[in-house]
Amino acid sequence: MGEPIGEIKTGFKILQYLGVARDLWEQIKSAPHQIADLKTRVAELESRLQRCPGEGCPSCGALAFRIQATTRPRSPYAHLGALEYHWLCGECDFKEVKTHYPPNMPKK
């Protein structure tokens, strides 16, 4: 027969392994539900992105921030190809003008 302390340690290790196995089994059992939830979320996100949504609005966060017009800025850079993009949010009517400078052009 082995030492009582050694047998207790062995029994404790077995109980630890059983506890880990039980936790893993619980995770495996819940996986189909988690996968179904993730599939639902992905399908919802894909349906929202089907029609080329706009950018995220800085004001409300909706994916409805789109360019409404493009103009030349009233600045010395206009003749060098700078453009102003007039953005409008379709949800909250937030407006913003962003200037785009061509590469290698000095910025104001």
pLDDT single digits (tens) 61-71: 888 898 999 88
- Sign of the torsion formed by the C-alpha atoms of 58, 64, 66 and 68: negative
pTM: predicted TM-score of the whole model, two decimal places: 0.50
Model confidence over 76-87: pLDDT tens digits? 767 777 888 999
**Tens of each residue's pLDDT in the chain, 108 residues:** 556 677 777 877 877 777 777 787 788 888 899 999 999 999 988 887 777 777 888 889 888 898 999 888 877 767 777 888 999 998 899 999 998 887 766 655
The span from the CA of 82 to the CA of 71, in Å, is: 9
User: Which pLDDT belongs to residue 107?
Assistant: 59
The span from the CA of 5 to the CA of 100, in Å, is: 76
The span from the CA of 17 to the CA of 103, in Å, is: 62
Cα separation values, 103 from 15, 31, 76, 82, Å: 66, 49, 16, 10
